[in-house]
């Protein structure tokens, strides 16, 4: 009897421990109302700052979305892309996919400073990126959604991880795109929907030169128009930019997908989504159905925001997004 009672007590204690572990995991998950008590003004503060930045330069909205994407694909959505180099690590800003390409860091600094004034030491830089990317899309005419929050900031960054190929290059094949996104828990549908963010923003000549001079699945007049400001010679005009969406470059809409149907994708990795492959049907659907595109885009953005966040006691809440505390 005594042995049985002892065994029962051990079983009960083990069960309680499991319940406690389970509850701590639940607490560590992201939540839409994470700052409802600790920083109720976070959304209005971030949106006001993003609105101000976008009013000065429409392109910055696309830049903020891209920052979030490049952050999440390298070791999760942890704000690591925002860190400057230190004596102990080389950050991600100068890695191949980011160097002379990602932008908007000053805007993030401004948003962080404003948030710190209303809620010092509460809101992470990783969460600011998530909110700012949502606000950018909505301000430019796209969908709005509830952002899941509760991410904490990394204390380090990884140049090697950012350079490892996890971020798909503009030269990627369709299978490479699908594989890179699947490696982050995102489906082919998520990938095509997220690519629709190229309805805003610009790209450098260096990234589309080969497409406009050497590829055949491209509208001739479109190619010639792009060639006028992007010389064939490598090293000449590399940093000249062109809109990713030639139709409505400052509006978040379905024009990007309509461009693909007409062979007017600026990057190889854009046009490859509609080139006789498995994603053609999705491109066709999105090109004529704003509601479906928006719904799938929001789903994909939320899923991307769920990639390996630091929560609970992991990481920290940076005071300055550019450096660890």
Q: Which of 47, 66, 70, 148 is catalytic?
A: 70
Asked about 70 being catalytic, the answer comes back as yes
User: CA 106, CA 65: separation in Å to the nearest integer?
Assistant: 14
Among 304, 322, 310, CA closest to 133:
304
Give the relative orientation of helices 290-305 and 125-139 as an angle to the nearest 10 degrees. Answer: 170
Tell me 98's DSSP state. T
* DSSP H helices in 119-173: 125-139, 159-162
Tell me 194's DSSP state. H
Among 153, 183, 178, 188, CA closest to 166:
183
User: CA 316, CA 132: separation in Å to the nearest integer?
Assistant: 20
User: CA 308, CA 73: separation in Å to the nearest integer?
Assistant: 9
Q: Which residues are catalytic?
A: 70
């Amino acid at each position: 009897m005594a042995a049985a009672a002892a065994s029962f007590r051990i079983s009960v204690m083990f069960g309680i421990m499991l319940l406690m572990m389970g509850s701590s995991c639940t607490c560590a998950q992201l939540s839409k109302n994470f700052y409802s008590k600790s920083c109720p003004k976070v959304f209005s503060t971030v949106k006001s700052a993003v609105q101000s930045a976008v009013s000065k330069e429409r392109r910055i909205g696309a830049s903020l979305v891209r920052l979030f994407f490049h952050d999440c694909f390298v070791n999760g959505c942890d704000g690591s892309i925002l860190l400057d180099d230190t004596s102990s690590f080389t950050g991600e800003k100068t890695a191949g996919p980011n160097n002379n390409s990602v932008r908007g860091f000053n805007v993030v600094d401004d948003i962080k400073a404003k948030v710190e004034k209303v809620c010092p030491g509460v809101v992470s830089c990783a969460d600011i990126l998530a909110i700012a990317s949502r606000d950018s899309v909505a301000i430019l005419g796209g969908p709005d959604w509830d952002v899941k929050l509760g991410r904490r900031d990394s204390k380090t960054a990884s140049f090697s991880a950012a350079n490892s190929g996890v971020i798909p290059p503009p030269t990627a094949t369709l299978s490479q795109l699908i594989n890179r996104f699947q490696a982050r828990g995102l489906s082919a549908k998520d990938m095509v929907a997220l690519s629709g963010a190229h309805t805003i923003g610009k790209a450098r000549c260096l990234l589309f030169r080969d497409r406009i001079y050497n590829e055949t699945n491209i509208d001739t007049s479109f190619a010639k128009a792009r060639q006028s400001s992007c010389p064939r010679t490598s090293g000449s005009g590399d940093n000249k930019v062109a809109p990713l969406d030639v139709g409505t470059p400052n509006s978040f809409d379905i024009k990007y997908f309509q461009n693909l149907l007409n062979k007017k994708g600026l990057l190889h990795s854009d046009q490859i989504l509609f080139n006789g492959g498995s994603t053609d049907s999705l491109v066709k659907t999105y090109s004529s159905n704003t509601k479906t595109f928006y719904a799938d885009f929001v789903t994909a953005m939320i899923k991307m925001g769920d990639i390996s966040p630091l929560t609970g006691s992991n990481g920290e809440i940076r005071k300055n997004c550019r450096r660890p505390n």
